Amino acid sequence: MILIQKNEEKIRLDIFLSQKLQISRSQILNLVKKNLIKINGSFIKKSGVIIKAGDIIEIQKIESDDNFIKKSNIFIEKIYEDSEILVINKPPFLATHGANSLKEESLVDWLKANSIQLSNISGEKKEGIVHRLDKQTSGALVVAKNNISHNFLSKQLMEKIMGRFYIAIIDLPLKNDIEIECYLARNPTNRLKISKTNKIDSARYSKSNFYKLALSKDMKKELILAKLSTGRTHQIRAHLESINRHIIGDKLYGYSGESYRIMLHSYLLYLEHPKNGKMSFKANIFEDMRNYFINYFDMEQINEILDNLSNNLIH
């Protein structure tokens, strides 16, 4: 609840709340459209109303609809939790948030089913979601538990303060560590894919670094580390395809071997906590990836590499 003071009156509501909460005016409009903002006990219909001294502004929490999943059968590891954020280890085959075409449970459904407090400035289907992982991608992901934390983390993404280190298994070793810098756009012949393009007017700049970690026993596959400088859709997958490398299991981007889920994992996450300063988190690999390492790699070497990464890259 916010009580408007004399020095705060005669200003548009969206401008006032944008400054007060440090969120965008479009996010304020989204809250208004969902009947989540009251002034003096009444829901408002326009975000541009002028506020005056003595007005009381209330921002409601989104209520679940009739289709809300009351119970969840999914187990998700909580890596860290406090009143501001939750860091989880997302399992593979779990969508980060819902969509009209999605029938099965999403991470957001699981969060609601477990009565976890969530930010709501991104809308009902994306409550708490600051960044996402593709459905088959596993690993570390942070959830915002209130709107102030959500905005704080979103700014870190834009300013490259928050980030992740990914590990991936690819079907052909890199010649050397490599930096890939290019423009990406929707593939004109397959709308499900993102591809490198020279038509920069309709594309987005992207940059990734890839590092060699370990070769498989037959020397044909490789564990690599990926660090993104931008966060484009399918960026790692599209960049690797641009140099004729493919993540194991990624048939959309050209992998042609046996069927596996996409062997891509968000292993390390670093961020600045809204109250506690710099923090880092490690997400352990899942059984399917571990089994792949056991079958095709020297597991002792893999364990040593992963331990070194967590010791040297997180602070």
Is 82 one of the catalytic residues?
no
Q: Which residues of 282-294 are buried (b: 16+ CB within 10 A; e: fewer)?
A: bbbbbeebeebbe
Dist. CA 87–CA 81, nearest whole Å = 6
Cα 63 from Cα 68, distance rounded (Å): 10
Residue with tokens 């059984």: 287
Query: How far is it, in rounded angstroms, from Cα 15 to Cα 46?
Result: 12
Which of 14, 65, 66, 134 is an active site residue? 134
Using DSSP bridges, classify how beta strands 85-90 and 77-81 pair: parallel, antiparallel or unpaired: antiparallel
The burial class, CB within 10 Å (0-12 / 13-18 / 19+), for 68 is exposed
Backbone angles phi, psi at 183, to 5 degrees: -100, 140
Place of tokens 């395809």: 241
206 vs 231: CA distance, rounded Å = 7
End-to-end CA distance of the chain: 38
* Spatial distance between the Cα atoms of 128 and 142, rounded to a whole number of angstroms: 9
**Dihedral pair phi/psi, residue 109, rounded to 5°:** -60, -45
Residue with tokens 């809250």, as numbered in its chain: 31
Which residues are annotated as catalytic? 134
